[in-house]
């Protein structure tokens, strides 16, 4: 089966299972989604949501976090991994937004990626989910699944993003990113499916018997 055919089958399965894809990170506005995505590195969306549900009731603008300062931000997010580095990023990106963008989240990749602690993946989430610009955010989970499903050779997330954009229609990218995340959490888990049990894996590789090893980013 060619990559193109696998992509078509995968898209059909995902559209059937997940016709709607709400953003898993709870947020109040574009700025708080940016913060939540930044906080989600190397932790779960659930952990981030548990921490931010009380924070965003009072603090939801760049001005709020600059006024808080790094130490207070640290105390608010201390139950999240790497909280010191993340507090630093939250403080400085909030300051940048005020100093350079009038307190607004910019609507282009360059300015987003220039913000402290914001990489291409985070910028892609904001561009696709809040500004409606087609983008395909690729994290370690999507990278792993794309390898299992034979959509990429697994060199790195940059290559995986290029491969997925080549294989899937542009209009599907923003929704598909979330569909893959949901599917991976529910059916194609890292330590359960191993590329041999879920519907997508068995559809794409009906003859696969041995667990597939994936390359980390």
Residue boundaries of the structural domains of the chain? 3-21+136-204, 30-129
The number of beta carbons lying within 10 Å of the beta carbon of residue 38 is 20
CATH number listed for the domain at residues 30-129: 1.10.340.30
Exposure string over 169-199, b if 16+ CB within 10 A, otherwise e? eeebbbbbbbbbbebbeebbeeeebbbeebb
Which pLDDT belongs to residue 213? 82
CA separation for the pair 112, 127 (Å, rounded): 9
Decide which of 1.10.10.10, 3.40.630.30, 3.40.50.1700, 1.10.1670.10 is the CATH code for 3-21+136-204: 1.10.1670.10
- What residues in the chain have per-residue pLDDT under 50? none
Which pLDDT belongs to residue 214? 82
Which pLDDT belongs to residue 175? 96
**Contact 203/127 with Cβ under 8 angstroms?**
no
Which pLDDT belongs to residue 217? 67
């Amino acid at each position: 089966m060619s990559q193109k055919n696998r992509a078509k089958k995968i898209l059909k399965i995902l559209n059937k299972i997940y016709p709607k894809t709400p953003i898993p990170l709870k947020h109040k506005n574009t700025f708080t989604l940016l913060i939540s995505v930044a906080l989600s590195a190397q932790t779960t969306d659930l952990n981030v949501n548990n921490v931010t549900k009380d924070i965003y009731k009072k603090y939801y603008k760049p001005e709020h976090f600059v006024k808080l300062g790094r130490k207070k931000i640290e105390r608010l997010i201390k139950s999240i991994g790497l909280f010191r580095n993340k507090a630093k990023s939250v403080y400085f990106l909030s300051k940048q937004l005020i100093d350079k963008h009038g307190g607004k989240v910019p609507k282009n990749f360059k300015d987003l990626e220039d913000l402290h602690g914001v990489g291409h993946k985070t910028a892609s989430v904001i561009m696709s989910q809040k500004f409606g610009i087609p983008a395909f955010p690729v994290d370690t989970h999507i990278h792993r699944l794309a390898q299992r499903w034979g959509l990429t050779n697994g060199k790195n997330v940059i290559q995986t993003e290029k491969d997925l954009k080549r294989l899937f229609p542009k209009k599907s990218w923003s929704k598909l990113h979330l569909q893959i995340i949901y599917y991976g959490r529910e059916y194609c888990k890292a330590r359960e499916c191993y590329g041999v049990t879920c519907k997508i894996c068995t559809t794409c590789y009906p003859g696969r018997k041995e667990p597939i090893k994936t390359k980390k980013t």
